[in-house]
Structure 1
């Protein structure tokens, strides 16, 4: 019996709070909006969780039902310029990037990476960078 009286007292307090909130203009707008949402949910026969998914997907709070796939545009990188040079009587093609392919000629000279070969050439020719090396070896663009 006391539980029933407690619930009735709570109900009375809640009704009073609702009336005071309805008198507030901002709260009244919220109440009206909630009633309209409930009417829409009932009109289309949605269960509460399904209806929430629909509303959330509208504002992308959750993953939308289906989105168009994004398409990435691939841009081609400008390739490093290549130069023909004569090294020890052998015509060789050099390029400025450090990650060049190790050709059989470079591997035969004992280098495992193109960067090592390039830095060795720069050191042997007593220059500071690739551009100076090309200039010293009279490199021709390919």
Structure 2
């Protein structure tokens, strides 16, 4: 019973709001325009979505739902190639990237970063870059 009373109270409140809005000149124009649009839609038998599409196409304001920018694609980065080389009689694996795991062998030599170790090897072997170092040490590619 209380739901019915609530609904009646809401209905009365809505009727009052409608009367006050109809007395407003701007709101009355909007109401008349909406009624005319509904009459046109019904006259030609359009569904609401189709009618909205016609109105949008008239003004060229149809906006796609998603832009290509909003789509994200995960890509995997190519891993740096690894090479097996012999340094001072110890078989070691080197890779071209500057950030690498600092193993016990590298720590024992006194280096705190892989990049420092790699730069030291390049200087000691008097080469310009990583590729030249691998070539000089007869590096063999290692599969991951």
Report the TM range for the smaller structure's normalisation: 0.5 to 0.7
1:36 aligns with 2:40: no
Partners in 1 of 2:138 and 2:74 — Cα distance?
Answer: 36
Which 4+ residue blocks in structure 1 deviate beyond 3 angstroms?
31-34, 37-40
Gap change, CA 1:80 and 1:38, over 3 Å in 2: farther
Query: Tell me, which stretches of 5 or more residues in structure 2 are unaligned?
Result: 1-24, 39-60, 62-69
Relative to structure 1, the CA distance from residue 117 to residue 35 in structure 2 (aligned partners, 3 Å threshold; closer, same or farther) is: same
State the match for 1:121 in structure 2.
Answer: 121
> Judging changes above 3 Å, is the alpha-carbon distance between structure 1 residues 33 and 117 closer, same or farther for their aligned structure 2 residues?
farther
Helix, strand or coil for the counterpart of 1:77? coil
TM score, norm. by length of structure 1: 0.52
Q: What count of residue pairs does the alignment treat as equivalent? A: 87
Query: Tell me, which stretches of 5 or more residues in structure 1 are unaligned?
Result: 1-14, 16-30, 41-58, 60-69
Q: Distance in 2 between matches of 1:85 and 1:34?
A: 85
Instruction: Name 1:110's counterpart in structure 2.
Output: 110
Distance 1:116 1:37 in 2: 77
- Report the Cα distance in structure 2 between the residues aligned to 1:124 and 1:90, rounded to whole angstroms: 16
CA RMSD, 1 decimal: 3.2
- Match for residue 86 of structure 1? 86
Give the direction of change, closer, same or farther, for the CA distance of 1:32–1:94 in structure 2 (3 Å limit): same
TM-score, normalised with respect to structure 2: 0.52
Question: Could you say what secondary structure the match of 1:86 adopts?
Answer: strand
